A and B are shown apart, each in its own frame.
Chain A
Amino acid sequence: MEIISKIILPLFVIIIIFYGVKKKINVYDTFLEGAKEGLITTFNIFPAIIAMIFAINIFLDSNIFTFILKLLSPLIRTNKIPLEIIPMALLRPISGTASLAILNNLFIQYGPDSFIGRLSSILQGCTDTTIYVIALYFGSVKVTKIKHALWGGLFADLVGIIMALVLTNLFF
């Protein structure tokens, strides 16, 4: 299992570069062109990151979330669900930047190799911004009656969250 995790990146890189050379494109210039695009993308998301970190830190530093969790803890403390992960699970379908900001927070607090660090990494990786994507895609073609698209998507996310929990326990 560990081997797969370690070879997946080098494997991808070699396949991509080999194919590029085979197709006789200028791989170096193409890399630079793409890297420049990446630079622009990263700068473009900077305002959103500032905005989200600002709001999430105020929210988390106010301790209201700890208060709410304390009220709810008899209900959710049945199995091994770390409560710290809940804000992330709730925000993940709405905003990728917001959940990234929380991931950053959790890494600062617990480190990436802790149980919470690994769980939150898998959680961020295995689900998408469901609500945002559905609003954007249906909005673009002016479809307003979306039937079970939202519930189907959120159900898939829920399964993803549960699987993230199970797999973190299983793998590490």
Chain B
Amino acid sequence: MVGYIWAFMIGVGIIYSFITGHINVINESILTNANEALDLILNLLPVIVLWTGILKIAEVSGLLDKFAKLLSPLLHKLFPTVPKDNKALGYISSNIAANMLGLGSAATPAGLKAMQELQKINQKKDTATEPMITFLILNTAGVTLIPTTILALRVAYKSVNPSEIILPAIIATLCSSIAGLTLDYFIRKRKKKNGNNF
């Protein structure tokens, strides 16, 4: 899908500027593009390296696991159909905890394992179960406490207070997560009412 969008942007961009007679702009754009990418990566590099170093300490010391455990009472409420001792809940909490700390690379493996565990207790293997959907809505709402890359970019472009966006971003994420989960809850309830079993 990303491939199609990528090709679409390039194709439409070049064709449109041909039609409007601005192809010289695109010519210049192509030539200077790669430098801009290099600038971007160099801007991101220091903060990402620093932060992954610090987060590695959180991971190795077991702080991440501890954080994940704090989430588990909440998870039992969100996933009532998953048995309490199921491994999936552990993976889900690690996934969310890692996402919260901006540890995308640690979040994905835990998330994929959670899906595998949920698939084991799935009756119809090609159909998404209730907990899978709830998990993905929770995951894609993306609660992040430390948005590393954004902070790095803001620092690079000389923001007076780079971290000023953290709090509003957290509030916005909380609202979107709650909205997503509420929608999920009502859809489930309505389906149950209609006798439509998952």
Please give the residue numbers on chain A whose beta carbons come within 8 Å of chain B beta carbons, in ascending order. Answer: 1-2, 4-6, 8-9, 12-13, 15-17, 19-20, 22-23, 25, 27, 30-35, 37-39, 41-42, 45-46, 49-64, 67, 91, 93-95, 98, 100-101, 103-104, 107-108, 111-113, 117-118, 121-122, 124-138, 140-149, 152-153, 155-160, 163-164, 167-168, 170-172
The docked-state distance in angstroms from the alpha carbon of A5 to that of B164 is: 5
Contact B137 A152 (CB under 8 A): yes
Interface Cβ pair total, 8 Å cutoff: 345
Docked CA distance A61–B14 (Å): 9
Contacts of B82 in A (CB 8 A): none
CB distance from B12 to the nearest CB of A (A): 6
B5 (CB) vs chain A CBs: closest residue: A94
Q: Are A160 and B133 in contact (CB under 8 A)?
A: no
Determine if A16 and B37 form an interchain contact, defined as CB atoms under 8 angstroms apart.
no
On whether A20 and B60 interact (CB within 8 A), knowing A58-B13, A137-B111, A163-B172, the answer reads: yes
Residue of A nearest to B101 (CB): A12
Name the one of A60, A61, A136, A143 contacting B125, with C-beta atoms under 8 angstroms. A143
- Encoded as 1 (CB less than 8 Å from any A CB) or 0, chain B from 161 to 191 comes to 1111111111111011101100110010000
Question: Which interface class (under 10, 10 to 19, 20 to 34, 35 or more) fits B?
Answer: 35 or more
Verify if B70 is at the interface (C-beta below 8 Å from A): no
Give B124 Cβ to nearest chain A Cβ, in Å. Answer: 8
Report whether B2 and A132 are in contact in the complex, using a CB–CB cutoff of 8 Å: yes
- Top 7 nearest A-B pairs (CB, nearest first) are A34-B56, A38-B52, A156-B180, A128-B142, A125-B169, A35-B53, A160-B176
Task: Determine whether the beta carbon of A13 is less than 8 Å from that of B115.
Answer: no
Q: CB-nearest residue of chain B relative to A152? A: B137
Q: Least Cβ distance of A134 to chain B in Å?
A: 6
Q: Which residues of A contact B140 (CB under 8 A)?
A: 93, 128-130, 133-134, 153, 156-157
- B contact residues around A19 at 8 Å (CB): 57-58, 61, 63
New A-B pairs, 9, CB < 8 Å, besides A34-B56, A149-B133: A56-B9, A117-B157, A117-B159, A122-B165, A125-B165, A133-B140, A153-B136, A157-B176, A160-B172
> Across the interface, do B54 and A31 meet the contact criterion of CB distance under 8 Å?
yes
- Determine if B126 and A145 form an interchain contact, defined as CB atoms under 8 angstroms apart: yes
Residue interface mask B135-162, A partner, CB < 8 A = 1: 0110111101111011001101111111
B57, B111, B144, B146: most-surrounded residue (chain A CB, <10 A): B57
Interface of A is mostly: helix
Q: A20 and B128 in contact (CB under 8 A), knowing A8-B166, A53-B37, A156-B176?
A: no
CB closest chain-A residue, reference B14: A58
A39→B45 contact, CB < 8 A: yes
| Chain B contacts for A42, CB-based, 8 A | 41, 44-45, 48-49
Contact across chains for B159 and A124 when beta carbons are under 8 A apart: no
Q: Is the CB of B26 within 8 A of A62?
A: yes
